[in-house]
Each structure stands twice: as structure tokens, then as C-alpha cells.
Structure 1
Amino acid sequence: MSCCTSKANHNVRQLVNVAKRFKTSPSHTRGQRSLASSSTSTSTTITTQDATTPKIIFSGIQPTGVPHLGNYLGALQQWKRMQDSASPSTKLLFSIVDLHAITVPRSASILRQQKREMLAALLAVGLDPSRCTIFYQSSVPAHSELQWILSCTASTGYLSRMTQWKSKLSLSDSATVSSASAALKHGLFSYPILQAADILVHRATHVPVGADQRQHLEFARECVTNFNSSWGTDALVQPETILASSEEGARVMSLADPEKKMSKSDANHGSRVLITDDAGSVLAKFKKAKTDDLQSAGIGYDKSARPGVANLLEILAAFSEAKQSAEEIAKDFREEGVNYKELKERTAKAVIKGLEGVRERYLDLLDGDGNGKRLDEIAEEGGRKARASAEETMKAVRAAVGLGV
């Protein structure tokens, strides 16, 4: 035990030193390509060098319970649009990533409940299990198996430069090994490897990402390069990026504090709108939304000077049937003389209409059919299909590494 402890402390020291060394390092590394050219994409388009190759789209979401408006506009609405517009040959996989969720410990009963709530929400917003594969990540052991195999060729230096890791690190120069060891968990450090495995185990050709996740997809591509090069194979596929338009990928801010993202961890329940809120609750929350003291200047779109008003305009634009931008809506409202009260009411009504039926479908799925029996059946079938998908990849991976028969 003393030998193991000594080695463990040595490894922690190495990890701390590596983390400090890369804390302010440039983000470039061998094999890493810039995504700057992709950041100006203005629509949810899917492109590939070979248009005849069937596409495989993968995306995942953490089981944090009932999604809020930010989750809906940032991911779920986009998933629904892809499902409805994709060609019949396109394979769609949407995962509830419960393995990722346990990087923040919670009770087993809460995790089970939140997984079911998220599954019900995905179905309630219109995802069709006959058209796409919806599954719990933990029901497919190959995700974890590929994570370990990828970790054997993944770069520690690259992982140390990941934005999420650096933001959580926050180590001072005087931090001791013991305090760093207590605060840092390997799951957080290796999180991007599991995320890469999620994508690669299903041979995903395209992955929808937000601005804050592009680095993770670039790391997945790095994993492909490292693995294929190390083992002399083409078993893993390089995934491409799907970037949403500014309207589709709108970053929804808190109604109570528009300087912060909308979050379920906020103690103020009025700061967020859940997709299962009834019409009365939605209207009440928007009526209390924070704006500013510049109403006399008319409605204006300025994210830095008027973040509260800008947030409402962006939400309204996301639900606009006329497909107007936030700037266009602001111009029209200014000409009409719309005041803040009307802006809040119009935004609330647009959200209520856009989410019409979601609450009823959600409640029916959880309680209306044998106490959620349909959810269990969908989860079981989705897991079966996802395991079959992953096994195709793992046969080639095991053969390349020498683990297969």
C-alpha cells in the first residue's frame, strides 16, 4: 500500500505540473485543425466530401431532468429538425449520456429519475424512436471499452489544454498536491476521451455541436488520427461538424440575470422556463424577466448594453414563424412603439405556442401508460439497436489492436 501511495502521489504531482504548464499554453498541437473557417456557418447544413456515403449523425445530452428553454433551443429543437429533414438513408443516434453525468455525484435514485425525465422529454418534443435510435449511454458497454482503448493513444498534453478542464482546475501557484488531489478527479480529466468514444463507436460522420463543444469534436478527430496511425488501420472514422445557425444555436440566458446562462442549478426557479411549464407559469416568469432602464429609447438589440432585452428578442426570434432575426424584430418593435411589457408578453406567447403539446405528451409518457411502461420499452429497444451499431465498430477495433479472435 505504501508503494502504491507513493506512486499515486507522484502521479498527482505530475498531473498538477502538467496542468499548470499548459494552463496558458496555445491551443495548437500536432494533428489539431482550426475550426475558425466553420464558425461562420449560418445554417444547420450537413456536408460531406462524398455525397453518396450514408450519413450517421450522433449527439448526446446529459440526464439533468426536465430540459429548460436553453436545452431545447440549443439541442433538442435542432435534433427534431434533423430528424424531419434528413434523408431516409441517414442514421440518427441520440444518447442520454448517464456515464458523463456521474462526474458530479448524485444519488442513484435521482439519476434514475432524471434519466427517465430526459427520455420522456426527448419523445415529447417529437423525436421518433422508429426513425432514430434513442438510448442510455450506459446500456452500451462498448462506449466504455472504446474509451479505454482510445486512452492508450490519447495525448495527456492535449487533454490538459481542454477548456473545460482548465476552467475547473483553478490551481493557484501555492496549491499543494494533497489539495489538488482532493479537488481533481480523473473522470473530469478523461471526460473528452469518453465523449470521443461516444461518437466514434457508432462511426458518426456528422456531429451537431455548439460553440463551446467544438474543441471536444476536434479532440475526437485527434483520437482517430492517433488510433489509426498507431495501429495501422482505418477502423475509426473522422467525424465532421454540424454548426447551427445563430438563431438555432441561440444561447439562452437567465431571465433573472441575463449575464448568466439559463441553468437548472440556479436557486431562483423564475430564472428558467422548463419545456413542461404550463402556460400560466411561462407567462408569469417572462413578466418578471429582468430588462433595463432604457425603455424610453425604444426596443433595441444590444447584447452588451442591454442583455436582458437582447435575451428576450433572441428567444422570440427562435420561435418566430416569420423567421425574423432578433435585430429585425427589434426594429419592427421600435417602429411600432412596443414597450417592455408587450415585449415580455409577446415572447411568452411565442414560447407557449412553440411548445404546445409538449407538457401533455411528457406527462402522459411518465404517468399515462402503465406508470411509464412505454418509456422502458423504448429505452430497451434503443439500447439493443445502439449495442448492435457499436459492435460493428468494436469488431474492427479489437482486430486492429489484437484483442479480437
Structure 2
Amino acid sequence: MSQTRVLTGITTSGTPHLGNYVGAIKPAIEASQDPNVQSFYFLADYHSLIKCQDPKRVQQSRLEIAATWLALGLDTDNAIFYRQSDIPEIPELTWMLSCVCAKGLMNRAHAYKAAVAENEEAGNQDPDKGITMGLFGYPVLMAADILMFNANKVPVGRDQIQHIEMARDIAGRFNHLYKGDYFTLPNAVVDEKSQVLGGLDGRKMSKSYNNTIPLFVAEKKLQKLVRKIKTNSLEPGEPKDPDACTLFQIYAAFASTEETATMRQQYADGIGWGDAKNQVFEYLNAHLEKPRERYNALMEDPGHIEAVLQKGAERAREETAVTMDRLRAAVGLGRFN
């Protein structure tokens, strides 16, 4: 039986936080250990250049994200873990796909439309002011990431479903024009059970809101951040609603069913916010202590991380080189024999 191919990209423009772990990293690492699945995990560092022109930040983010995935147990023997920028065939395929992709399709991309809308609301005469070709065309780069490995499934949030549909459109167009089954049409996989954690201010935890709790922040800093989580003014002894509480949500994302039920009862019994925050900190700190140690050791040994990524790139390029030879021949760019 052939393995199902699953591909996940991680944009390297920030520091991994608790929300990233719960919503994407944890389920992906569990999937990487399934022998029936061929997983591809990559650092989407070309994508990061669309929004971030700070080279130090991009470089640091690449290191932090790679160290995070390795510290948390990514199975790099089973999964293929690589940097997007180490695969030169990716931008080559992006150009080929750009040449069959309709501009009208890109005009409908959510990110582009939102940028145009912002310009119009600001009264700019040029609706494309400040919009780069990177932002406009990045769905094609995303399609190349996916189609290069003929991924069957691509786990995404609901806001990314459109990009998978675009990848299907582009793949179908290429297959039709060049009369062959060159690309598998991918399917978006949205995990309805995947949790979206609230941040320090109660909104979705996101670096855009500056309300995150970094995954491997130092113990004392973690304690300070947990204490900053927004709660209401209910006094100790007054029953509290756990389902409307970011603090409880964060705890439940890491705790067992039994532990969560116990905490829920404490809310009903009127636990004080100070006590609740201390319990959440102690639980998180204990849960993250060993991975944090591994993470810190990896950050001190970037050469090891580089070696892991180079090995992953070698495995990836064993496939991409063959694929591109076939595609070059298909479009008329093959070698003369």
C-alpha cells in the first residue's frame, strides 16, 4: 500500500508560541511518527521574505523554529524535514506554474484583496500601493511547495483553504495544457478539533497582536507572562466560568482529561485568580521543562541543526531533481540527446 503524502510548511518570521504548539506543532509531530504517512515538513523561509525584510529576524526565526520542532520530537528518520531555500527546484517550478496560472486567479486571493481594500479605505489613488509581487504571487509559490512532492493532504487553517484550491486549479491547468498526469490534486485538511488559544489579552494568540507566550521562554519570564493573562474581577469564592477563560483554555490544552475536570471543579468552587495562575504556571513549566532543555542545547549547537536540515534537503532533492527533469521535458526545456 502506498503511503499518504502530507505536507506542512512553517513560515519563519517569528518565535514559536503556545498557540503554534497546540494548533499545529503537536499534531504534526504526532503525524510524523506514523509509518503509513510520508510527511514533508519544511521551513517556509522564502515565504517569510514577503512580510519581513529584517534578515537578522528571518535568520533567527529559522533557527528557533527548526530547534523547536527537533526539541519536541519530530521524527526526521520518517518525516522529511528541510528548508524551502535549500531546494532550488522550488523557485524553478514556481516560474513554470506562474506561466500557466491566470492573473485573474491571483486577483481573487484573500491577502491581495485585503491589501487592496486597505489602500482604498486609506484613500490611496493607487490600489496596489505598497503591494509587492511576492504578496501578489505567493499562492503560486505555495502551489509549487505542494505540487513538487505530489502531496495528497495539506493540513491548513480555514483561512488557507483558498490556497489549496488554487493549487488544485493550477495543477489541473498544467496537466491539461501538457496532456499528462504530472501533478496530484491536493486536498486541504482542516482539523475541526484543532484548538485556537487565546493570548494575554484574550484575543487569539498571535504575534500580530503582540500577545503571545513564547514556547520556550525562561522559567521566570513564563511565570510573569502567565500572571499577565487577562481575567475578570470575580473575587475568590465566587464561581467562575472556565469556558470563557483564556487561563483555563491554555491549561486544558496541555492537561489530561482528568486534570482538566479537576480544574473545572475548582473554577466552580471559586478558585482565586492568583491561585489559578500559579497552578497554570507550575503545570506548563513542568510540561515544558525537558523540551526547553533540549531546545536550549540545540540553540547552542546550530551546526547540528544545519546537518539535520542538509540531510533532509538531500532526501527531498532525490525526488525534486527527478521531478523537474520530467517537467522540463514536458514543457520543452529538456536536454538535447
Task: Give TM-score scaled by structure 1 length.
Answer: 0.75
Aligned twin of 1:397 = 327
What whole-Å deviation, never above 9, does each CA across 1:39-93 have from its counterpart, x for those lacking one? xxxxxxxxxxxxx331111101111343111111121111111113x1x242111
Residue type matched to 2:254 in 1? F
Which of 114, 124, 140 is the equivalent residue of 1:175?
Answer: 124
Tell me how far apart the structure 2 counterparts of residues 281 and 158 of structure 1 sit (CA, whole Å). 45
Q: Does the Cα contact within 8 Å between 1:313 and 1:329 map onto a contact in 2?
A: no
Tell me how far apart the structure 2 counterparts of residues 383 and 185 of structure 1 sit (CA, whole Å). 28
Tell me how far apart the structure 2 counterparts of residues 389 and 354 of structure 1 sit (CA, whole Å). 38
Q: Does the Cα contact within 8 Å between 1:66 and 1:121 map onto a contact in 2?
A: no
Q: Does the Cα contact within 8 Å between 1:57 and 1:93 map onto a contact in 2?
A: yes
Tell me how far apart the structure 2 counterparts of residues 400 and 117 of structure 1 sit (CA, whole Å). 39
Aligned twin of 1:40 = none
User: Aligned pair 1:253/2:198, yes or no?
Assistant: yes
Which of 212, 216, 227 is the equivalent residue of 1:276?
Answer: 216
Q: Does the Cα contact within 8 Å between 1:135 and 1:382 map onto a contact in 2?
A: yes
**Could you tell me the percent identity over the aligned residues?**
30
Which of 264, 278, 282 is the equivalent residue of 2:207?
Answer: 264
Aligned twin of 1:286 = 226
SS in 2 for 1:171: helix
Q: Does the Cα contact within 8 Å between 2:175 and 2:181 map onto a contact in 1?
A: yes
Tell me how far apart the structure 2 counterparts of residues 323 and 145 of structure 1 sit (CA, whole Å). 51
Superposed displacement of residue 402, structure 1: 2.1
Q: Does the Cα contact within 8 Å between 1:299 and 1:339 map onto a contact in 2?
A: no
Aligned twin of 1:318 = 253
User: Aligned pair 1:70/2:19, yes or no?
Assistant: yes
In structure 2, the gaps of 5 or more residues are none
Which of 225, 234, 241 is the equivalent residue of 2:188?
Answer: 241
Tell me how far apart the structure 1 counterparts of residues 332 and 69 of structure 2 sit (CA, whole Å). 39
Tell me how far apart the structure 2 counterparts of residues 332 and 160 of structure 1 sit (CA, whole Å). 51
Residue type matched to 1:192 in 2? P
Residue type matched to 2:119 in 1? L
SS in 2 for 1:172: helix
Superposed displacement of residue 265, structure 1: 5.0
Root mean square deviation, CA, Å: 2.4
User: Aligned pair 1:357/2:270, yes or no?
Assistant: no
Aligned residues: 332
Task: Give TM-score scaled by structure 2 length.
Answer: 0.89
**Which shifted more, 197-206 or 233-242?**
233-242
Map residues 362-401 of structure 1 onto 2, 5 A cutoff. 362-367=295-300, 369=301, 372-401=302-331
Superposed displacement of residue 349, structure 1: 2.9
SS in 1 for 2:333: coil
Aligned twin of 1:230 = 177
What whole-Å deviation, never above 9, does each CA across 1:94-136 have from its counterpart, x for those lacking one? 1101100111242334322321222111111111322221111
User: Aligned pair 1:149/2:96, yes or no?
Assistant: yes
What whole-Å deviation, never above 9, does each CA across 1:136-178 have from its counterpart, x for those lacking one? 101101111111111122232222222222222223275323x
User: Aligned pair 1:348/2:281, yes or no?
Assistant: yes
Superposed displacement of residue 331, structure 1: 5.0
Tell me how far apart the structure 1 counterparts of residues 259 and 196 of structure 2 sit (CA, whole Å). 17
In structure 1, the gaps of 5 or more residues are 1-51
Tell me how far apart the structure 1 counterparts of residues 287 and 325 of structure 2 sit (CA, whole Å). 44
